[in-house]
Amino acid sequence: MRKGIIMAACSYSVWGLFPLYFKSISNVAPMEILAHRILWAMPFLLLIIACRTQWAWIPNVIKRPKVLGGFIASALLLSCNWFIYIWAVNNGHVIDSSLGYFINPIVNVLLGFILLKERLRPIQWLAVGIAGCGVSWLALQSGHMPWISLALAISFGIYGLLRKTAALGALEGLSLETIILFPCALAYVTYLSSQGASTFTTTLAIDSTTTWLLLAAGPITAIPLLLFAAGARLIPMSTLGLLQYIAPSIQLLLGVWLFHEPFNGARLAGFVIIWSALILYSAEGLWRAYQQNKQRMAAV
């Protein structure tokens, strides 16, 4: 279990540090960054699959159009989520992006209720209500809804729902999504190169740093996912649910202390309200997991 916690915590920590990576290539347009992330992730993921000789899933997926269709939808949602995140970070909205992943668990609960007809327990309803108050407060004090945060939370929430019922594991699923997106990414990068507008090729002769950083998008995308997939198999979901707050917490600290984004008392109050909802939601989940485990032990 300790090994699983370390691997999962490392994966969330890497995701939390993503703003440092995207800020380092802020001279590249978000769409081009997204294309290169897809472009270089695919060969890296396929290399891992080759090393592990995990090819058996590919023929099975090809024979099941419904499964393939589900992964096309999840691939589009994932690319939208990635693009919004990259754009947000490189346009001074690191704090807004962190808020999106803070409220994501609450959005997941709501999506389960709306789309999967799951019943919410009273404490869960209370947590949703408190989180709604926090979002409303942030909208009131800023004069507009926190659209970036909501877009990230909703897109990743729906993506999670699709992957929850998917027939493939984390590595195979991301590999298939990357394969689906690869032709579009390659076509876009080729078009930019033909127009002389590709940062990847134009900066190579001047400063190779940006080019190498774009090439690094492959392992940067895949490594935390592999750590997460390995760690998640070794620890309970309740523990994993608490560890997920590592990433947005690091992003928030980076946004406030390193990138000096505005974070006044009114905005802090909105975050505190949402954090209160998350504490309530997490505590209820832990208590429920404890009671279920106690009942299982008693039955034994």
pLDDT at res. 180:
93
Cα distances (Å, whole numbers) of residue 283 to 124, 131, 142, 234, 239: 10, 15, 30, 21, 11
Q: What is the average pLDDT across 76-92?
A: 94
pLDDT at res. 300:
64
Confidence of residue 204 (pLDDT cuts 50, 70, 90): low
* Range name among 10-19, 110-119, 158-167, 230-239 with the lowest pLDDT average: 230-239
Confidence of residue 62 (pLDDT cuts 50, 70, 90): confident
Confidence of residue 207 (pLDDT cuts 50, 70, 90): low
Query: Can you give the three-state secondary structure of the chain, one letter per residue?
Result: CHHHHHHHHHHHHHHHCHHHHHHHCCCCCHHHHHHHHHHHHHHHHHHHHHHHCCCCHHHHHHCCHHHHHHHHHHHHHHHHHHHHHHHHHHCCCHHHHHHHHHHHHHHHHHHHHHHCCCCCCHHHHHHHHHHHHHHHHHHHHHCCCCHHHHHHHHHHHHHHHHHHCCCCCHHHHHHHHHHHHHHHHHHHHHHHHHCCCCHHHHCCCCCHHHHHHHHCHHHHHHHHHHHHHHHHCCCCHHHHHHHCCHHHHHHHHHHHHHCCCCCCHHHHHHHHHHHHHHHHHHHHHHHHHHHHHHHHHHHC
Confidence of residue 256 (pLDDT cuts 50, 70, 90): very high
The fraction of the chain above a pLDDT of 90, given in percent, is 37
CA–CA gap between residue 78 and residue 81 (Å, rounded): 5
Cα 245 from chain centre: 12
pTM of the model: 0.89
The fraction of the chain above a pLDDT of 70, given in percent, is 97
Chain segment 224-237, per-residue pLDDT in tens? 878 887 787 777 76
Q: What is the average pLDDT across 270-290?
A: 87
The rounded mean pLDDT for the chain is 87
Confidence of residue 238 (pLDDT cuts 50, 70, 90): low
Residue 205 has pLDDT above 60, yes or no: no
End-to-end Cα separation, the chain, in angstroms:
22
pLDDT at res. 274:
92
